[in-house]
A and B are shown apart, each in its own frame.
Chain A
Amino acid sequence: MIDRKLLKEIALSESEYLDICELLNREPSSLELGLFGALWSEHCGYKHTKLLLKKLPNKSSKVLSEMGKENAGVLDVGNGIKIVMKVESHNHPSAIEPKEGAATGVGGIVRDIFAMGAYPIAILNSLRFGPQNIPRNKYLLNGVVEGISTYGNCLGIPDVGGEIEFEECYTTNPLVNAMCVGIIENKSPILNAKADKAGDLAILVGSDTGRDGIHGASGLASQSLEEGSDSRSAVQVGNPFLEKVLLESCLISAKMEGIIGMQDLGAAGLTSSVIEVAEKSNLGIELNLDKVHLKENAMTPYEIMLSESQERMLIIVDPVKEERFLKFFKDRDLKANTIGEFIKPKIVKIKYKGNEILNTPVKILTDAPAYELSDKKPRWIDNVQRYIPVKNKISDMNKILESLLKSPNISSKKEVYSQFDHQVQLNTIILPGEADAAVLRLKKDNQAISISIDCDSKKCYLDPEVGASMAVAEACRNIVCTGARPIGLTDGLNMGNPEKMDVQYQITRTIEGLRKACLKFEIPIISGNVSLYNESNEKPIFPTPIIGAIGHIDDYSKVVTASFKSSGDKIIVIGEKLIKDDENLLSGSEYQKIFENKLSGSPYVDLNKEFNLQNSLIEIIDNELINSAHDVSTGGISIAIAESCILGNIGSDILLDGINKKSIYFGENRSAIIVSCNPKKSAEIIKIAKKHNINSKEIGVVTGNKLIINGDICIKVERLKSIFYNQSD
């Protein structure tokens, strides 16, 4: 009998149910069905994306673990140091209960990192909300920021950077993506989520298992949010203090004799954690649910297996050392129990109150179906890609620039990042807001890493493929602007309902855009996350492939920030000789959104040029030729220059040739970087750019206390500051 209501609750389709019956050669028990619901969910099983994700480049000479094989990706940065990183979303929980949703999002990604034996050294956030004049959206923003602040600050991991965008499409469905970076030092090994052999034991450490978060992976993360539905009980509640104790203890245990592997309990709790370890280890597992420490006594096996209670870890140990581990955790006031043993036959056996209540082959449980997606371009995308110039009466460039600077997508995010501890651990040598990316020293030699997270969703809406390539280009360009060489990416794909044809096209093209850019930039995607079913008012969100990028710096004394430094410095635009002024530059721009009220046109990126541009800047910074670098992105050239003025508290005088003024000043689709330098260095900079086939041009000078561009823009820096930092009305 097919129970449709139950299937809907666990987000399995009828045809999937029939597949399960065929694979098992019988109907599943209700407990089995719960496990299938979780393991075959979009969240755990990647049903709609796994075929496509295989196309992404995931190897390089520095990559030590492949995407999808472990909890997070690992890069070798030399000198015995390995860097671990991953981004993860917690969108639907945050939409329902913003504070706890965002808090447990941070908790989950941090556990992914220390499960690999890495000490977490940085958190970044990428957030999306609807317009703040809608009270619900404001509530969501405040709750999410408070959740990240409450949880992250308590852990002693600096929150060093991030980005926020506000668009209509994220109303009631915010995006909350958290990225964590960890470090493995002194040639210590990477810890895998694996058992070695039959007989190895699984110890569950940390929080009691409760009724919180049941159906988080299947019910919440794998279908669209329903209006008025009350799924708050599917959102977990975090305890950051317990996470901190767990983090420190697990990392000590990771160096103890007898440790074999470690795995966090995240989406789908024990089910995905234990069964995925068994699958990777080519073993089976026998679980004894009577050994699981519970928050309440009357929990059913179904609830125990699917609970998403936070702050739990699975430690896999050699049976000979079992007692040592149990005592170690007890001494640190953590509950720990041996809940299972790995066995030779590849079967999941579950015991409860002395009886065997489940006996199912691992392979059947983990072999979620994979669906092919349509790649047919919807007509509406063809329509929006036609650029429709809109005449507007505003010709005062000062007014336009001020409006853009005030836009929440451009103005300072200080109000948010000052609520996050960004300095603990004493590595943050470039603080949030000072440059295009955060820079952390590694306290060894002069090595540092630069980290950025980025995506321009308006471009992705107009052209998912180009937008995705741009996200890669921009995330890399950000870290290049500090002087770092990009070495690895992590991707958080946030998309709409994959059962809709136009969303299928968006997903397919997004992954193609990522693939092309990664191949061009010779950079691997080492880890990632997919979040589907993000919809607002039954319309899909803009495709939002969030890209986290990490770069390596040999000598951090050469690091550059975005602020203009001293009067008399020349300002050069690297990337263009004749400043481009075609109207298409405004496609998907902040200008178009604010002043034309409609997005249209074809965003554009030349990946060849972008790659050369970035290589030229790396060489220029390595030769210590410039005093500031800031890339041209949201708001265009004029905003980039205004920001460098604001940060440096100094003016500049700029000349830009061209006819179509709005495109010149506010056009965004260009690969260009604004640098400032001592006048004596200018020729050398232009020469190096030329060597990389990149044009560049002197456009002005750092001077005075006003931003002056041609005869069109003249605003005091004091005024720019008060608008940017939201101190004026």
Chain B
Amino acid sequence: MNIGIIVFPGTWSDRDCEFALSSFKNVKTSFIWHKESIPKNIDAVILPGGFSHGDHLRAGAIAQFSVVMKDVFQLNEKGKPIIGICNGFQILCEAGILPGALIRNKDLKFNCSFVNLKFNDSKKFTSLIPNNKILKIPISHGEGNYQADLSTLNMLQENDQIAFQYCSESGMISDDVNPNGSLNNIAGIYNKNGNVLGMMPHPERSCSPDLGSEDGNLIFKSMIKSF
């Protein structure tokens, strides 16, 4: 699989994603600068974390107009897998590829810490994760508070589009374990078609036991196998 990692000015998880994916055989990664178009041979793209354009105006608000985004829309139409991580998730929401918005954390503070996640077991991006497993993956954001209006939330639920929810170690979903005030503890969502995943936690940061968890790798592994 050829995976393109899109780099905006201010992106900083680009190299981390490359490093995490370097452990997979049969995967080739390349960086795609925001002013360029996406090469024809790319099978999947990652919009990594960071502060594209310095989060000026709003997180992701400027990046959505980049040259490269036209090709991201096209890949989406073709049903190719697309992951937006952290700032990438914010860009996908701003671009309208995913519904809803990410606003400032409820306590107005940046938060970098490990969280526990419950996952939706009916999707390709998590096909290799054992059922009922609670994922341990870090977050690192100041604007990860997912919000949507009621009809959007209903739509997400009806179409089974909620990808991840913040939970306790034992899988309980409650306000106590909600790190940022997200609606229904939502940490990640899919588009209707299930080929676009946006998530605030950083799967590339939990790619080796040295870093405290390997759970993020399961998401990449599932994507590589299922698409």
Contacts and interface: CB of A to CB of B under 8 A. Distances in A.
A156 B12 contact: yes
B16 A424 contact: yes
Given A428-B211, A429-B210, A420 B110 contact: yes
A140 B112 CA distance: 22
Interface stretch (B37-45, B51-59, B118-126, B147-155): B51-59
Interface in A448-470: none
Contact of B110 (A149, A241, A556): A149
B54 A418 contact: no
A194 interface: no
B56 A241 contact: yes
Interface in A389-436: 417-426, 428-429, 431
A205 to B, nearest CB: 15
Contacts of B19: 426, 443
A154 B51 contact: yes
B16 A425 contact: yes
A154 B9 CA distance: 11
Interface string B195-214: 00000001011011011100
B210 A240 contact: no
Interface in B70-116: 109-113
Task: Pick the most buried of A150, A245, A420, A424: most chain B CB atoms within 10 A of its CB.
Answer: A424
A429 B16 contact: no
B13 A419 contact: no
B109 A426 contact: no
Given A239-B54, A240-B51, A424 B12 contact: yes
Task: Pick the most buried of A149, A155, A420, A423: most chain B CB atoms within 10 A of its CB.
Answer: A423
A244 B12 contact: yes
B50 interface: yes
Nearest to B205: A423
Interface string B138-164: 101010000000000000000000000
Contacts of B20: 426
Interface residues of B, number: 31
B180 to A, nearest CB: 12
A132 B49 CA distance: 35
A420 B9 contact: no
A356 interface: no
Given A239-B54, A421-B110, A244 B9 contact: yes
B53 A426 contact: no
Given A149-B110, A333-B9, A421-B110, A426 B51 contact: no
Contacts of B113: 418
B107 to A, nearest CB: 10
B140 A423 contact: yes
Nearest to B9: A245
Contacts of B212: 431
Interface string A238-251: 01111011000000
B82 to A, nearest CB: 22
Contacts of B15: 425
Contacts, number: 81
A431 B136 CA distance: 15
A150 B138 CA distance: 19
A154 B110 CA distance: 11
Interface residues of A, number: 30
Contacts of B208: 426
A418 B19 CA distance: 24
A443 B12 CA distance: 18
A244 B56 CA distance: 14
Task: Pick the most buried of A239, A332, A426: most chain B CB atoms within 10 A of its CB.
Answer: A426
B204 A426 contact: yes
A335 B55 CA distance: 20
A441 interface: yes
Nearest to B51: A154
A241 B9 contact: yes
Contacts of A418: 109, 111-113
Interface string B2-13: 000000011011
A224 interface: no
B33 to A, nearest CB: 10
B221 to A, nearest CB: 17
Given A241-B51, A429-B210, A423 B12 contact: no
Nearest to A119: B15
A153 interface: yes
A449 to B, nearest CB: 14
A240 B19 CA distance: 25
A425 B17 CA distance: 10
B104 to A, nearest CB: 12
A421 B50 CA distance: 11
Nearest to B210: A429
B110 A441 contact: no
A242 B10 CA distance: 8
B211 A429 contact: yes
A417 B113 CA distance: 9
B152 to A, nearest CB: 29
A258 to B, nearest CB: 23
A423 B211 contact: yes
Contacts of B9: 241, 244-245, 332-333
A241 B54 CA distance: 5
A423 B210 contact: no
A240 B142 CA distance: 15
Contacts of B204: 426
B10 A241 contact: yes
Contacts of B51: 153-154, 240-241, 244
A155 B12 contact: yes
Contacts of A154: 10, 51, 54-55
A244 B10 contact: yes
Given A154-B54, A241-B10, 6 more contacts: A153-B112, A153-B140, A154-B51, A240-B51, A245-B9, A426-B207
User: Which 4 A-B pairs rank lowest in CB-CB distance, beginning with the nearest?
Assistant: A156-B12, A241-B54, A154-B51, A419-B110
18 contacts: A154-B54, A156-B12, A239-B54, A241-B10, A241-B51, A241-B55, A241-B56, A244-B51, A244-B54, A418-B113, A419-B111, A421-B110, A423-B140, A424-B140, A426-B19, A429-B210, A429-B211, A443-B19
